[in-house]
Structure 1
Amino acid sequence: MRMVFRWFGEGNDTVSLEQIRQIPGVEGIVWALHDCLAGEEWPMDRIMNVRDQALRAGLHTEVVESVNVHEDIKLGLPTRDLYIEKYVRTIEKLAQVGVKVICYNFMPVFDWVRTDLHKRMDDGSTALFYEKVKTTDTDPSELVKSIMNNSDLSMPGWEPERLAHLTALFESYRDVTEEDLWRNLGYFLDAIIPVAERCGIQMAIHPDDPPWPIFGLPRIMTSQANLRRFLQLHDSPANGITLCSGSLGANPSNDIIAMIHEFAERIPFTHIRNVRVYDNGDFIETSHRAQDGTVDITGIVKAYHNVNFAGYCRPDHGRHIWDEECRPGYGLYDRALGIMYLWGAWDTLERTKQQSEKRNLS
């Protein structure tokens, strides 16, 4: 398991590269050019600038999250080929600086949905919270205003430039079905996976967050069966999954441990985080400790260890603790604690394995 840490860039993150470098076992950053809109080709000089900053701090830039997919591709519009060409050129550029994995998603309009960015927990910390009724009885534009007014830092997936056209986007998806979305995803994969194969890059789709339809928009990366169907769309090692325990874990019927065992060879990148799911469908993000949430984090780490997982891992979201002022979900302290919890579980499994091998040899 290779530990990495998401970084939003100089001037756009409260966490520095120097601080990331001090977290035990972290070898690289997960990055992107976050001010590049979906559909834009990334400039080579800016790609190299991030690579050089990370190298000076002793970190690699082998994982990108995300190269966003333009809505015209998801909608299957005639203009999609233009945006796919730009996407392909970005893949080729990233390969030139040593990128190995590109995370992306195929969620219409919203990359992720929460209804409260700072829900207070019993211990005084705050965390990202999802209140189900607010996604069924609330105008999505009102939710967007509420979210955007509660964060001073940019939030990938909620770019103001994109959400300014929210009404038009919803209208565009009015007659789009899940099967339409599957066909458009297949078209996209047929165009980019051969390029990824040639460049030595693994594309890794992120599950929908949360894993069910939101505001009537179709969503398809939601379950084990759908992830299996996705991998069959283009049966190539370059076509993989970013398996996110927090996104998929918001639906208690998802068996993430079973997914790890089934898809092990097609998971180049994993997000490990915990959520507590309530009976009414609400959920809140918790510490990584298994007992604090609904997701079996220690069981997930054990599953990865059992399949000899050698891909990239990041702790994903954290709570806001110790009065840290940070991007919602992306502070230093709780994510660093999460890494140490994951390493503790992993190292225990490694030590147990080594001791067993010694006994078998004696």
Structure 2
Amino acid sequence: MATDSDEPRSFEDLPMRVGAGQFMDPSPDRLRYIKQLGADDILLNMYQVDEPDYEHMPDDERVPLTGDGEWSAENLRELRERVESEGVRLNAIENVPVSFYDDIMLDGPDREEQMEKMKRTVRNMGEAGIPIFGYHWAPAGVWRTGWTTTRGGAEVSVFDADEADIDELTHDREYTEAEMWDNYEWFLDEILPVAEEAGVKMCLHPSDPPMEKLGGIPQLFRNFENFKRAMNYRDTDHHGLELCLGCWSEMGEPLDEVVRYFGERDEIFYVHFRDVSGTVPKFSEDFVDEGNFDEYELLRLLDEVGFSGMMIPDHTPHLEGDTDWEHRGRAYTVGYLRGMLKAMRAEQAARDAGVEAVAQD
């Protein structure tokens, strides 16, 4: 991964840690707020950044930010440097606008052109020193059907298949599972060699919600078996999981088996740490401590399998007085995760001390 410094910038030697994300605007005040929460790492969710005048992605006169699907290495490097000027590390960019690669996902007329732009984007990320690129394979996007309240009246989103027009086409026609797999494997064949050369890790996000089909499009990444197929398609260290625990919780899959399988293969690159109550076809978001799984046991398991990446809050409840970014909900989750992490490390230190004492006796 090329950088401005003679010394390589490596995230590989950092421990498992808590970061923040789910926003596009790395303004100084937001970065300072994140730093005040005790987080030193962020990812930027760039799913709407397709306007040339986007203030946080500066234009380069030679290779400007455009609305048709690529960012220059100069843009990306300056973005990283803006983040680092506040003492924060930019770990990843995730979810570029669907318009950057919708024809890749659906084998549309501009597939080849979009693919070349995606390749340049990955190369530019590597040149700019941004090591992770999170992506999804869901042209129909994230679906929710409404809102409800949880503890203390905090607002959370809901999905109920009975209240969604899941059969109404979102694109030009109905697509088959075989088509979507053909398109996906073509994408991997094209992008992974570029990612390997650029030193960028590609991270796959689950379908949300993980239904079999939405809007006439099969949701490939809805279950354990389909993720295994994706990860086994090519032998590479540059393809893994953007492990969204909330989506896996929605699936109702055995999370301990999922974490062991992919963690022991070093295929978990970073984690969206959230939970839901219920599973498809009906679930609601929830606080990180009140969903389907035991969050502390899952954290311990992530540590056990050797995960050493960043964990971020994701889809937090909207608390009283919150902003659109749920800064209060995210603060609660960051604090909760940091507390669990500190408790786990204290337990480990106590065990290690006990083992050492027994050995000395």
Give the deviation of 1:127 after TM superposition.
Answer: 1.2
For the pair 1:337 / 2:332, whether they are aligned, the reply is yes
- Matched AA of 1:268: F
**DSSP 3-state at the match of 1:123:** helix
Preserved CA contact (<8 Å) 2:249 2:255:
yes
Preserved CA contact (<8 Å) 2:202 2:238:
yes
For the pair 1:56 / 2:85, whether they are aligned, the reply is yes
**DSSP 3-state at the match of 1:16:** helix
- Matched AA of 1:203: M
Partner residue in 2 for 1:316 = 314
Give the deviation of 1:294 after TM superposition.
Answer: 1.4
**DSSP 3-state at the match of 1:197:** helix
**DSSP 3-state at the match of 1:130:** strand
Give the deviation of 1:45 after TM superposition.
Answer: 4.2
Question: What is the CA–CA distance in structure 2 between the aligned matches of 1:315 and 1:354, rounded to whole Å?
Answer: 26
TM-score (norm 1): 0.82
Give the deviation of 1:7 after TM superposition.
Answer: 5.0
For the pair 1:30 / 2:30, whether they are aligned, the reply is no
- Matched AA of 1:53: R
Partner residue in 2 for 1:225 = 225
Question: What is the CA–CA distance in structure 2 between the aligned matches of 1:218 and 1:39, rounded to whole Å?
Answer: 26
Give the deviation of 1:78 after TM superposition.
Answer: 4.8
For the pair 1:200 / 2:230, whether they are aligned, the reply is no
> How many equivalent pairs are there?
321
Question: What is the CA–CA distance in structure 2 between the aligned matches of 1:236 and 1:355, rounded to whole Å?
Answer: 37
Question: What is the CA–CA distance in structure 2 between the aligned matches of 1:206 and 1:15, rounded to whole Å?
Answer: 29
Structure 1 runs (4+) greater than 6 angstroms displaced: none
Partner residue in 1 for 2:268 = 267
- Matched AA of 2:96: V
Question: What is the CA–CA distance in structure 2 between the aligned matches of 1:7 and 1:247, rounded to whole Å?
Answer: 15
Matches within 5 A, 1:5-84: 5-6=20-21, 8-10=23-25, 16-24=30-38, 26-33=39-46, 34-36=48-50, 40-68=69-97, 70-84=101-115
Partner residue in 1 for 2:8 = none
Change (3 A) 1:15 1:177: farther
**DSSP 3-state at the match of 1:268:** strand
Question: What is the CA–CA distance in structure 1 between the aligned matches of 2:25 and 2:304, rounded to whole Å?
Answer: 37
Change (3 A) 1:325 1:258: same
Matches within 5 A, 1:203-218: 203-212=202-211, 213-218=213-218
Give the deviation of 1:136 after TM superposition.
Answer: 4.1
Matches within 5 A, 1:243-262: 243-252=243-252, 254-262=253-261
Partner residue in 1 for 2:62 = none
Change (3 A) 1:15 1:241: farther
- Matched AA of 2:89: H
Question: What is the CA–CA distance in structure 1 between the aligned matches of 2:109 and 2:190, rounded to whole Å?
Answer: 14
**DSSP 3-state at the match of 1:61:** strand
| Higher deviation after alignment, 352-361 or 86-95 | 352-361
1:114 to 136, 141, 144: 144
For the pair 1:297 / 2:326, whether they are aligned, the reply is no
Question: What is the CA–CA distance in structure 2 between the aligned matches of 1:307 and 1:352, rounded to whole Å?
Answer: 17
Give the deviation of 1:335 after TM superposition.
Answer: 1.3
Question: What is the CA–CA distance in structure 2 between the aligned matches of 1:204 and 1:178, rounded to whole Å?
Answer: 21
Give the deviation of 1:281 after TM superposition.
Answer: 3.4
Question: What is the CA–CA distance in structure 2 between the aligned matches of 1:41 and 1:232, rounded to whole Å?
Answer: 28
Give the deviation of 1:323 after TM superposition.
Answer: 1.9
Question: What is the CA–CA distance in structure 2 between the aligned matches of 1:230 and 1:39, rounded to whole Å?
Answer: 28
Question: What is the CA–CA distance in structure 2 between the aligned matches of 1:185 and 1:281, rounded to whole Å?
Answer: 25
Question: What is the CA–CA distance in structure 2 between the aligned matches of 1:216 and 1:30, rounded to whole Å?
Answer: 31
Change (3 A) 1:284 1:14: farther
Question: What is the CA–CA distance in structure 2 between the aligned matches of 1:39 and 1:204, rounded to whole Å?
Answer: 22
**DSSP 3-state at the match of 2:232:** helix
Give the deviation of 1:185 after TM superposition.
Answer: 0.6
Unmatched tracts of structure 1, length 5 or more: 141-166
- CA offsets, 1:123-148, max 9 Å, x none? 221111112212247x86xxxxxxxx
Preserved CA contact (<8 Å) 2:41 2:310:
no
TM-score (norm 2): 0.82
Preserved CA contact (<8 Å) 1:245 1:295:
no
Give the deviation of 1:39 after TM superposition.
Answer: 5.6
| Higher deviation after alignment, 243-252 or 59-68 | 59-68
Give the deviation of 1:72 after TM superposition.
Answer: 0.9
Change (3 A) 1:194 1:68: farther
Partner residue in 2 for 1:89 = 120
Question: What is the CA–CA distance in structure 2 between the aligned matches of 1:281 and 1:346, rounded to whole Å?
Answer: 32
Question: What is the CA–CA distance in structure 2 between the aligned matches of 1:7 and 1:261, rounded to whole Å?
Answer: 26
**DSSP 3-state at the match of 1:313:** strand
Partner residue in 1 for 2:10 = none
Preserved CA contact (<8 Å) 1:210 1:248:
no
Question: What is the CA–CA distance in structure 2 between the aligned matches of 1:72 and 1:8, rounded to whole Å?
Answer: 25
2:353 to 342, 345, 358: 358
State the identity as a percent: 25
